[in-house]
Amino acid sequence: MTSNLEAQLLALQQEGEAAIAAATSLERLEELRVNYLGKKGQLGALLRSMGQMSAEERPKIGAIANTVKEALQNHLDQQRTALEAAQIQAQLEAETIDVTMPGIYRPQGRIHPLNGIIDRALDIFVGMGYTVAQGPEMETDYYNFESLNTPPDHPARDMQDTFYLPDGNLLRTHTSSVQIRYMEKEEPPIRIVAPGRVYRRDDVDATHSAVFHQIELLAIDEGLTFTDLKGTVKIFLQAMFGDLPIRFRASYFPFTEPSAEVDLQWNGRWLEVMGCGMVDPNVLKAVGYDPEIYTGFAAGFGVERFAMVLHQIDDIRRLYNSDLRFLQQF
């Protein structure tokens, strides 16, 4: 019985070592480990017959069994190490980059000049404590005109030819409507900047477009004055254009009083760059603010105008043509 079991153990060792050496994958190696050394493996099955042996025979067979187990385990470990190394080497060879080969050219993307102006302006205003606010491009007559102190019979409506829609709504002519919507939901103090696309029935030429972009700011608080407005506008324009002469000219807007146009001296001549003014008390009343307690100021400018000045662009239509020869300059 002893010699027979001993022979079976040695034969199992030889068979196992040969099978392990022939294994070509880690999956196959795991199958062999379970087959020979697992709880239900061949080595365990042979050792279960040791219960029929005498006490003198068991130590000898036990020692042989341990030797067989260690030998198989060592072969498994060695083959696993070899297979893992081969797998890593194959992966390295497959992923190797030949640095002598020419690379694949991918043109570098650029920020569109309009987006660049918007991002730059918003960074300045956010740094001054303003919150970015946005609203719908399709507006009601109330938010676009009436709440901004421009009732149906107001002559100021003749100043803006508007895209009216069949349902009675319209495409907003300015982002001032965002200010009304924001004030309806929030209580003072308020400091917001509203960027967005606007629409007007302008004939398209070198300086006009039916679709363009505006950025407007609004501040509402107790005790705000025209001096606060002038200081804010000056800081912003200096951040955008540098330390250049600035002047304020009296003007008219239905939703601000007093109102002013802002000019900047650029290349030896005065350029109109912004409109601004103190928020009209009627606008404050429209949103439920008490004009005896709160005052505010607003200002706005056209993004295309800033882009044309800063980048010396001679025709507004260049900003919309998607001509790579033009856009790659920025």
Same domain membership, residue 12 and residue 128 = no
In a domain, 14, yes or no: yes
Report CA Rg, the chain.
41
- Range of 14's domain? 2-95
Burial tier of 152 (Cβ tally within 10 Å: 0-12, 13-18, 19+) = exposed
Number of independent structural domains in the chain: 2
Binding site, residues? 257
In a domain, 176, yes or no: yes
Same domain membership, residue 306 and residue 214 = yes
Torsion of CA 223, 132, 177, 307, to 10 degrees: 110
Binding site for Mg(2+), residues? 257
In a domain, 120, yes or no: yes
Tens digit of each residue's pLDDT, the chain (330 residues): 456 777 877 887 888 888 888 888 888 888 888 887 787 778 777 777 666 677 677 777 778 878 888 888 888 889 889 888 888 888 887 777 777 878 788 877 788 999 999 999 999 999 999 999 999 999 999 999 999 998 888 776 665 688 899 998 999 999 999 999 999 999 999 999 999 999 998 888 888 899 999 999 999 999 999 999 999 999 999 999 999 999 999 999 999 999 999 999 988 899 999 999 999 999 999 999 999 999 999 999 999 999 999 998 888 999 988 888 888 888
Q: Which two tokens stand for residue 20?
A: 């392990």
Same domain membership, residue 131 and residue 88 = no
